[in-house]
Amino acid sequence: MTAQPEPIAAPPAADAVDTVAAAAGSADATQPYAELGLKDDEYARIREILGRRPTQSELAMYSIMWSEHCSYKSSKVHLRQFSEKAPPNTRMLAGIGENAGVVRVSDELAVTFKVESHNHPSFVEPHQGAATGVGGIVRDILAMGARPIAVMDPLRFGAADHPDTARVFPGVVAGIGSYGNCLGLPNIGGEVVFDPCYQGNPLVNALSIGVLPVARLQNKAAAGAGNVVVLLGARTGRDGIGGVSVLASATFDDESTQRRPSVQVGDPFIEKLLIESCLEIYDAGLVVGIQDLGGAGLTCALSETAAAAGTGMRVELEKVPLREASMAPHEVLASESQERMLLIVAPENLDAVLDIADKWGVAATAIGEVVEADDAQKGGRLVVTWHGATVVDVPPGSLADDGPVYERPMREPSDLILLQADRAETLPRPTTGDALRETLLRMVASPNLCDKSWVTEQYDRYVLGNTVLAQPEDAGMIRVDEATGLGVAVSVDGNGRYSRLDPYTGVKLALAESYRNVAVSGAAPIAVSNCLNFGSPEDPGVMWQFAETCRGLADGCAELGIPVTGGNVSFYNQTGSVAIHPTPVVAVLGLIENVAGRVPMGFRREADVIMVLGETRNELSGSEWAWVAHRHLGGLPPRVDLAAERALGAVVAAGARTGLISTAHDLSDGGLAQALVESCLRHGVGAQIALADDTPLDAFTQLFSESAGRALVSVPRGHEKAFAALCDEHGVPWTALGVVDPAGDAALTVRDQFTVSIGTLRDASAATLPGLFDRPAAVAAAAAPAAADPVTLAPTAPPAPGAAAPATSGPTTTGPTTSGRVTSGPATTGPATTDPAAAGPAAAGRSPAAGGAAGDAADAAGAAAAGAEPAGPAGAGAAEDSGSATKSARPAGGAADSVGSETGAASDADEPPAEEGAAPPAAPRSTPRGAAAKPTNPARRGKGAAGKG
C-alpha cells in the first residue's frame, strides 16, 4: 500500500526549463539576480562556486537561502556570543542550529521550545500570516520528535486607534486562534502591545512547546547512502513562493498590501494529521532524519538535510505532488506551501512509512535518494532533475552553510544622547489623592494595560486538560508528566521602549522580566529562546542596536546561568526609512517538580498580608505612565540587577515550598499600581494598603515606578514574620503594605490617597479593546464536543508553613464533573465546523463585551482537569460585574470540581492552611475605608540583610 497521489495534470515539458547543460553553454545570459535580492558580489560568488552561471532553479535557490531571513548573514557574527558565553549546562540536548532547542527535564522526558517571527506576512494578509506562523513553529517542534503541547503569541501593533490597526489586529488574533484551536493546542500566554512605532509593521511572534521521550529525539541529517527521501503532507502550490526573500528581507511601503501572493495559506486540519502521522512514525523508529518545510520550502529542506550529513542527494522533482500542474521546477523548489515535512527513510522501512501516512490520510511520496559524497571533505552534490533533465547541481553546503557573512558598519544612533537626557522623572506628575485615582483609572484603561479578554477568549487555553496556569497569569504552565505532576512554565516578554533608550539594558530587562514571571509562578528557570525584531541591518544605527542587544542577552544569560537554546532574527521591520523600536522578545522556560506547588497571581484569601519584594526607585523613563500621560519617550530605562532577580526567584520558590506565600505577581509595566489592580481583579477581591512613609519616594513614584526585580506577594496572616525572615536570609528587601480585603464591598484602598471599587476598575479595564475592535459575532455552527472524563490532580493541599512539600502528587481518575469538561476549540481528532477565516471574539459563543463570564465558566471546567488557574470565576454574573467579592458555594462533585476551580471559593490546592493550633486570622473589617490595617509583624520594611527586620 502506498500513499502516493495520482498526477492531476500534465506537467511542463522538460525542454521548456533552464537546465544545467543549457547554463554551461550560455555563460553570458542575462539573469535577474538583483530583482531576487542578490548583490553583484553575491552573484559573482555563485558563479564561482558553480563554475558557470546558475540555472533559473539554482538562482532561485541561492536567492532564497542567501537572503537575510535564511542565511543570518548580517547577524551571525553577533549571535556567536550565545554559544561563546554560554554557562555550563547538563540539560541541553539540542541547541542553536537545530529546528528548536531541547532540554532534559527528567531522566525520561525532554521539552523543546522556540519562538519565531511571521511579521511581514501578517501585515500583508493578517489572518493567514498569523495562522501559518503558528503552523510553522509547531512543525519546528514536531521536527525534534516532540508532541506539541501548547503555543504562545507575543504580538505588537501600531496605535490602537489607528485605522490600519483595526484591519491587522483582529485578523492576526483570529488567525492565531483558528489555527491553534483547530490543532487542539492550548494558547497559554503571550503579549499584546500597541505602539505607533509598529504602525505598518506589526510584530507577530509565535512560540510553541513540545514534550518528548529523550530516546525519541530526532535530527535533520540525511545520513546513509541509498536512503529514500520522502515528502509527507500537503500538495505543493504557488502560495508563498519567494515569501522569505520577498517579504522578510524587505521593508514595507504603500504597495505592501498588494503582496498577498507571497503569503502562505494554512490548513490546520492537514497539520493535525501530519502531527499524528509523524509521531506514529517516530514511535515505530522508521526515520533516519526529518526536516519541516517552512521558509524556503523544498530548497531549504533538501539542502539543510544533505549538508547536515555531508552527503549528496538526487531528487526527481516531477514526483512532488502539485496543486497546479503548470508549476515550473523553480516554483516547486521555492514554494512555501504549508503542512509538509521531509523524511529520510531506510528503503526497508519505506512501505511502513507509506502505510502510516495512508492510515492518517496524508500524502507521502518518495521523491529521491541520499547518495554518497564523492569527496568526504567537500561533501556531496544536490542534484535535482525534471523529467530526466538536470535543473540543479550544487554543493548543498553552499546553500545551507556557506552564504555570505557581513560585519556591517555600526554606530550609535545620533539622537541617543539627547533622547537619554530627556528624563521622564522630570515630567509633571499627580500629587493629590484624586489625581492619583484618575491616573490609575486612565492607566488601567490604556490599551497596553487593559484587560485582554477580547484576545484570549478567541483562544482555547485549557484543551488537552494539562494547562495549569494560563493568561492572565504571569507565566503559562503545562503539566508534562501525569504520573509525577512534573510541569514546565514559560513566559515571553519584551519592551521596545526600554531597548530604544538603551538596547544593552533593554534586553536584560526583557530577560529579567521573563525570568521573574517564571520564578514567581513557582518554577525554576532553566533555558532561554529569543526572537530579535529590528529594522534594516544596512542602517548602522540599527546594527549597533542589534549588536548591543546580542551582547546584553549573552551577558545576561551568563549571569543567570541559563543557556540560549535557539531563536530567530527578523530584520527589515520598518516602513520606508523609519524602523521599529529594537524589540528583542525573550522566552524563558522553567521547571516545576510538581504543578500542585504552583503559585497563582490573584489575591483570594481575605486578611492575607500584602508585601512588595525588591527595591523601588524613582524610575519612570520609558514607563507606561510616561507614554500614557505625556506621550513621552526619553531618559534611561530602569536599572537591572540579575543577581537580585535570582534572589527574588529563590525567595518565592522557598516561600511556595514551605507554604509561606499564597500568591505572587511580578511588577513590571505600570508598576505597583497595575500589579495591585490585576491581583484584585483576578478573583474580584479588594485590598487595603498603606504606602511607605519612611522613604523619600512620594506616593506617585511608589505606585507607578517600573523598577525591576520586584514582586507583589500575599502571605497567610500570622506568617509574615517567617516570610520576612526568609527574605532577609536571601538578601531580598521587603515592605509590608496591607491586607487583602474581607468579602463584601470590594475596593482597592490606598490609605490617605484614594479608594476605587473593584467594579469601577473592572469596567475601566474591560471596556477598551471591545470598544476599539468589536464587530458582529461570526456565524458559527460548532457542534459541542462530548464531555470526557478528565484526568485530575489529587486535591492535595500544600504543606503548612514551614513544612516540606510532598515530592509528587500523582493523578487520580475521577468520574465526570458536575458540569462536564467544556472547551472552546474542536475535538483534537476531528475537524471543527466553524470557518477559521470568520473566527471572531464570539466565535465560540462568547461575548467579550460581557466581561468574559461565560467563557471563564467554560475554561474553568476545562482547567479543572489539570488543577489549573482558569481565567475568572465561573458564572461570574452580576455580583462580579458590580465589583462584589461575594463568594459562591463550592459545587459538589469531588476533586475535579474543587481543585483549581474558581467558583469563588479558593481551592484546596491553593489555600495554605493555618498552623495547627493557631488562632484564626482577624479580618480587618473594623478598619475604616481609607485607613489600611497594618499587618501584625512589628516591622513594615526590611532591607534584605540577613538578621535584620
Active-site pick, 78, 118, 665, 730: 118
Query: Quick check: helix, strand or coil at residue 309?
Result: helix
Let me know if residue 854 belongs to a domain.
Answer: no
Residue 254 annotated as lining a ligand binding site? no
Residue 116 annotated as lining a ligand binding site? yes
Residue 272 annotated as lining a ligand binding site? no
Say how far apart CA 894 and CA 64 lie, in whole Å: 58
For the segment 602-625, the average pLDDT, to the nearest whole number, is 97
Residue 567 annotated as lining a ligand binding site? yes
Angle made by CA atoms 527, 532, 543, in degrees to the nearest 5: 130
Give the per-residue pLDDT at 239. 84
Q: Which domain holds residue 337?
A: 1-65+219-403
- Phi then psi for 393, rounded to 5 degrees? -150, 95
Residue 8's domain is classified under what CATH number? 3.90.650.10
Give the per-residue pLDDT at 867. 54
Let me know if residue 281 belongs to a domain.
Answer: yes
Nearest to 706 by CA among 786, 818, 621: 621
Give the per-residue pLDDT at 378. 76
Nearest to 621 by CA among 413, 426, 418, 448: 426
pLDDT band of 263, cuts 50, 70, 90? confident
Give the per-residue pLDDT at 375. 77
**Over 90: is that where the pLDDT of 905 sits?**
no
In this predicted model, which residue has the larger pLDDT, 946 or 781? 946
Let me know if residue 496 belongs to a domain.
Answer: no
Angle made by CA atoms 846, 848, 854, in degrees to the nearest 5: 45
* Residue 585: its H or E element: strand 583-592
pLDDT digits (tens, 9 = 90+) for 794-852: 333 333 444 443 333 333 333 333 333 223 333 333 333 333 333 333 333 333 333 33
Query: Which grid coordinates belong to 330?
Result: 523553480
For the segment 102-122, the average pLDDT, to the nearest whole number, is 96
Residue 57 annotated as lining a ligand binding site? no
Strands 747-750 and 340-345: unpaired
- Residue 689 contacts residue 741 (beta carbons within 8 Å): no
User: How many helices (H) does the chain have, and how many strands (E)?
Assistant: 30, 31
Let me know if residue 444 belongs to a domain.
Answer: no
pLDDT digits (tens, 9 = 90+) for 506-521: 999 999 999 999 999 9
Helices 268-283 + 350-360 axis angle, to 10: 140
Distance of CA 866 to the CA centre of its chain: 21
* Residues above pLDDT 90, as percent of the chain: 73
Helices 126-143 + 163-183 axis angle, to 10: 40
Say how far apart CA 138 and CA 190 lie, in whole Å: 16
Instruction: Give the lowest-confidence range in 339-343, 401-405, 444-448, 871-875.
Output: 871-875
3-state secondary structure 68-81: HHHHCCCCHHHHHH
CA dihedral defined by 808, 811, 817, 821, rounded to 10 degrees? Answer: 100
Active-site pick, 69, 78, 127, 581: 69
**Over 50: is that where the pLDDT of 424 sits?**
yes
Average pLDDT, the chain: 83
3-state secondary structure 631-682: CCCCCCCCCCCHHHHHHHHHHHHHHHHCCCCCEEEECCCCHHHHHHHHHHHC
- Residue 181 contacts residue 825 (beta carbons within 8 Å): yes
- Residue 56 contacts residue 330 (beta carbons within 8 Å): yes
Say how far apart CA 868 and CA 821 lie, in whole Å: 13
Say how far apart CA 156 and CA 761 lie, in whole Å: 25
**Over 70: is that where the pLDDT of 774 sits?**
yes
Residue 179 annotated as lining a ligand binding site? no
Distance of CA 944 to the CA centre of its chain: 33
The maximal CA–CA distance of the chain, rounded, in angstroms, is 96
Residue 118 annotated as lining a ligand binding site? yes
Q: What is the DSSP string of 134-159?
A: HHHHHHHHHHTTPEEEEEEEEEEES-
pLDDT band of 944, cuts 50, 70, 90? low
Letter string b/e over residues 301-326, b meaning 16 or more CB atoms within 10 A of that residue's CB: bbbbbbbbbbbbbbbbbbbbbbeeee
Residue 120 annotated as lining a ligand binding site? yes
**Over 80: is that where the pLDDT of 286 sits?**
yes
Say how far apart CA 519 and CA 513 lie, in whole Å: 10
Q: Residue 419 — left, alpha, or beta (φ > 0 → left; ψ -120 to 50 → alpha)? A: alpha
Let me know if residue 328 belongs to a domain.
Answer: yes
The strand pairing partners of 674, in sequence order, are: none
pLDDT band of 866, cuts 50, 70, 90? low
CA end-to-end span of the chain = 75
Give the per-residue pLDDT at 262. 59
- Phi then psi for 341, rounded to 5 degrees? -135, 150
Say how far apart CA 476 and CA 468 lie, in whole Å: 8
118 is catalytic: yes
**Over 60: is that where the pLDDT of 853 sits?**
no
Residue 140 annotated as lining a ligand binding site? yes
For the segment 863-871, the average pLDDT, to the nearest whole number, is 48
CA dihedral defined by 645, 445, 453, 210, rounded to 10 degrees? Answer: -20
pLDDT band of 922, cuts 50, 70, 90? very low
The secondary structure of residue 6, as a DSSP letter, is: P
- Omega within 30 of 0 (cis) for the link into 928: no
pLDDT digits (tens, 9 = 90+) for 562-582: 999 999 999 999 988 899 999
Say how far apart CA 458 and CA 389 lie, in whole Å: 50
**Over 60: is that where the pLDDT of 612 sits?**
yes
In terms of Cβ atoms closer than 10 Å to its own Cβ (0-12, 13-18, 19+), residue 829 is: exposed
Which amino acid, one-letter code, is at 354? L
- Residue 756 contacts residue 437 (beta carbons within 8 Å): yes
pLDDT digits (tens, 9 = 90+) for 292-316: 998 899 999 999 999 999 999 999 9
For the segment 405-419, the average pLDDT, to the nearest whole number, is 97
Report how many domains make up the chain: 1
pLDDT band of 4, cuts 50, 70, 90? very low
- Residue 527 contacts residue 651 (beta carbons within 8 Å): no
Give the per-residue pLDDT at 743. 63
- Residue 940 contacts residue 689 (beta carbons within 8 Å): no
Helices 76-84 + 540-560 axis angle, to 10: 10
Say how far apart CA 846 and CA 890 lie, in whole Å: 24
Residue 41 annotated as lining a ligand binding site? no
Q: Residue 861 — left, alpha, or beta (φ > 0 → left; ψ -120 to 50 → alpha)? A: alpha
Number of other residues whose CB lies within 10 A of the CB of residue 24: 14
Let me know if residue 798 belongs to a domain.
Answer: no
Give the per-residue pLDDT at 943. 64
Let me know if residue 749 belongs to a domain.
Answer: no
pLDDT digits (tens, 9 = 90+) for 315-356: 999 999 999 999 999 999 999 999 999 999 999 999 999 999
In this predicted model, which residue has the larger pLDDT, 640 or 6? 640
Residue 459 annotated as lining a ligand binding site? no
- Residue 790 contacts residue 462 (beta carbons within 8 Å): no
Tally the C-alpha atoms within 13 A of residue 701's C-alpha that lie toward its C-beta.
19
330 is catalytic: no
pLDDT band of 123, cuts 50, 70, 90? very high
Residue 336 annotated as lining a ligand binding site? yes
Which amino acid, one-letter code, is at 650? A
Number of other residues whose CB lies within 10 A of the CB of residue 542: 24
**Over 80: is that where the pLDDT of 858 sits?**
no
pLDDT digits (tens, 9 = 90+) for 212-232: 999 999 999 999 999 999 999
Say how far apart CA 159 and CA 193 lie, in whole Å: 9
Angle made by CA atoms 892, 893, 899, in degrees to the nearest 5: 100
pLDDT band of 744, cuts 50, 70, 90? low
Say how far apart CA 836 and CA 855 lie, in whole Å: 19
- Residue 724 contacts residue 949 (beta carbons within 8 Å): yes
Query: Which grid coordinates belong to 603?
Result: 489575591
Nearest to 706 by CA among 488, 875, 498: 498
Let me know if residue 613 belongs to a domain.
Answer: no
Strands 524-533 and 583-592: antiparallel
Nearest to 221 by CA among 335, 135, 342, 78: 342
Query: Quick check: helix, strand or coil at residue 291?
Result: strand
Say how far apart CA 294 and CA 338 lie, in whole Å: 7
Number of other residues whose CB lies within 10 A of the CB of residue 802: 11
Residue 598 annotated as lining a ligand binding site? no
pLDDT digits (tens, 9 = 90+) for 654-687: 999 999 999 999 999 999 999 999 999 999 999 9
Say how far apart CA 445 and CA 439 lie, in whole Å: 10
Strands 747-750 and 754-757: antiparallel
Residue 292 annotated as lining a ligand binding site? yes
In this predicted model, which residue has the larger pLDDT, 514 or 915? 514
